[in-house]
Amino acid sequence: MTKIIINGTEVETREGIPVLQAALEMGLNVPHYCYHPGLSVVASCRLCLMEMKMPHPKTGEMGWAPKLMPSCQTPVRDGMEVRFDSEAVKRNQRNCMEFFLLNHPLDCPVCDQAGECLLQDYSYQFGDSTSRMVDPKYVNPKKDLGPKTLLYANRCVMCTRCVRFADEVAGTGELCVTNRGSKAEIDVFPGKALDNPLQGNVVDICPVGCLLDKDFLFKQRVWHLHSGDSICPGCATGCAVRVDQNENVIYRLKPRYNPGVNDWWMCDEGRFGWKYAQDATRLNRVITRRGEAVESLDWAGLPQTVRFRFAEVTAEHGDASIAIVLSPFMACEEAWLVATALRKIAPNAALVLGPVPLREQDEVFPKGATNGDAKFTISKERCPNRRGIERIIGALGGPTLTFAEFSENGGKGEIKGAWISGGYPEKWVDKELAKAADKIEFLVVHDLFASELCAPAEIVIPACPFTERAGSFMNIAGKLQPFEWAVKPADGCKRDGQFLQELAEITGIYQPESVRKLMAKQMPEFAEVAAPPKMPEHQH
């Protein structure tokens, strides 16, 4: 057990981690810019300097060393004593803050970072209100670093987090520091723009407003944003993300700390790939077809109608002619609710896993890393919950079909009643499925967008994207990760979980935890979800 004394308080910590990390973990607000737990340590910002007790070179007596030490670069050793609350440390923080603001344009009113800016926070908490600078400030031109990112060099504090990220995590090394000293700037080589699949992270780790996301530029002041903790549905990696919205409009996605899964990062496809969730062409009303006539249906009567029609078809053709297609975009709870609701009516209905969009191979970072030292992986499986749906289908037992078999049997007219869940962000209906859908007598489609399935379907139910749902996804490593909704369902839609719970004749408001409790009776692995731990409050 390693114990060290910080500010006179003894804390238990881990041998070898930076003292700064230990201080942050005990809840201390130690200012720092260049230190990031996911990157190498450079100790260049000098904000986190501390006082440390060392033996006197002559007498060997322990005393406060006259020079300040960078706490990010000093590893924890058992019994060491450090302090961050002395006058010398505070004076250093004050001077550093004055130094960081020498060339800063103080353009917070037009800066996207204002409100979540570490220059603002630290200046307020640790800095002085005045600057002794009398000379004119350097003015650097803005740079277009790449298709998605802008650099406003004036605001930079030269922490070089972005440069280290490009070198160490993305492994593409586009970024560099040009010039030296007070004229140093972040730059890329002309024509070799910052354009790797992880580049959006440099905007997140920039502690100030220097690197800016073009997609979010001038869209919203950050203090208006409210966030929901979600899981990115882009691939099977299952990155923990934060959906930032204001008045039910989503503005951006940011990664959440999730050790072992996505750590601090996320890919650009996930970061900018949520736009479909606010697409105006989404399905937004329940439609029913009787012969040629198309009518809108009311949500209130819908569960009963669906159950009644399934019962009719089952009575007519037998329960073996019923199939339930569960999409790998559904949450585990939703899939279980559909399956149990319809199995109650047709106990031998076949469960089918919907098509799993696949790419050729995983994308591993840093570029060229072997699997052992990969820091980030973009999975080739382009859906979030294949594992979860497979577990549920396996645990519920009974007849199952592969998706190809479902299309084939449907095409032969063997399937009389089917529930098809979609929720794919892209076009997903293939020719075989469209052909099968024509032959199915009673088809319910639960999907985000209109497709070839809508015309033959008797009932079309609009689904919600991940930002409007709650539940849990099981990622490629078998980790069951919960997510919550960030925005209210779009007009005309109803939260999937709520509707499916009504379909399964469970009363009350849909709460994923309560559904999981019910699921855990059959499948104990759904009793516990692995929510990512919180980062220390003052870590960034």
Partner 1 sequence: MSWKVIDRNAAPDKAEAPVLTDALVEKIRVFLPRYETKRAALLPALHVVQDHFGYVSWQAMQELAELLEINASDVFDVVTFYTYFWTHPRGEKVVTVCRSTACAFMGADSVLDECKKVLGIGEHETTADGKFSLQTEECLATCDHAPCLYVNERCHKHVKPEDVRRIIEDPNNAKLDIERSTLFDGVKGA
**What residues are paired with 482 via a beta bridge?**
472
Instruction: Give the number of residues in contact with partner 1, rule: CB under 8 A.
Output: 29
Q: From the CB of 435, what's the least distance to partner 1, in Å?
A: 46
User: How many angstroms separate the CA atoms of 102 and 117, rounded?
Assistant: 17
**What residues are paired with 288 via a beta bridge?**
295, 459
Q: Which of residues 99-158 bind partner 1 (CB under 8 A)?
A: 105, 107, 139, 141-147, 150, 154
Q: From the CB of 12, what's the least distance to partner 1, in Å?
A: 41
Query: CA of 345: how far to CAs of 340, 376, 424, 445, 458, in Å?
Result: 9, 44, 27, 18, 18
**Long-range contacts, stretch 428-432, CB < 8 angstroms, 24+ apart:** 428/355, 428/357, 429/453, 430/355, 432/404, 432/407, 432/408
Q: Binding to partner 1 by residue 190, rule CB under 8 A?
A: yes
Q: Which stretch binds partner 1 (CB under 8 A): 122-130, 192-200, 397-405, 500-508?
A: 192-200
Q: What's the gap between Cα 475 and its chain centre? A: 13
Helix axes 87-100, 118-126, angle to 10 degrees: 140
C-beta of 163 vs 470, nearer to partner 1: 163
Residue-level length of the chain? 540
Q: Binding to partner 1 by residue 197, rule CB under 8 A?
A: no
C-beta of 192 vs 226, nearer to partner 1: 192
Q: Binding to partner 1 by residue 40, rule CB under 8 A?
A: no
Q: Binding to partner 1 by residue 189, rule CB under 8 A?
A: yes
Q: From the CB of 160, what's the least distance to partner 1, in Å?
A: 11
Rg (CA), the chain: 28
C-beta of 150 vs 434, nearer to partner 1: 150
Query: What token pair was written down for 67?
Result: 């020079």
Q: Which stretch binds partner 1 (CB under 8 A): 45-53, 96-104, 190-198, 456-464?
A: 190-198
User: How many angstroms separate the CA atoms of 361 and 235, rounded?
Assistant: 12
Q: Binding to partner 1 by residue 178, rule CB under 8 A?
A: yes
Q: Binding to partner 1 by residue 213, rule CB under 8 A?
A: no
Question: What sign does the dihedral 489-493-494-496 (CA atoms) show?
Answer: negative
Query: What token pair was written down for 248?
Result: 């039910």
Q: From the CB of 433, what's the least distance to partner 1, in Å?
A: 41
C-beta of 140 vs 262, nearer to partner 1: 140
Query: CA of 80: how far to CAs of 16, 49, 54, 245, 258, in Å?
Result: 12, 15, 9, 45, 30
Q: Binding to partner 1 by residue 374, rule CB under 8 A?
A: no
Q: From the CB of 102, what's the least distance to partner 1, in Å?
A: 16
C-beta of 58 vs 180, nearer to partner 1: 180
C-beta of 125 vs 179, nearer to partner 1: 179
Q: Which stretch binds partner 1 (CB under 8 A): 184-192, 213-221, 433-441, 457-465?
A: 184-192
Contact residues toward partner 1 (CB under 8 A) are: 105, 107, 139, 141-147, 150, 154, 172-180, 187-194
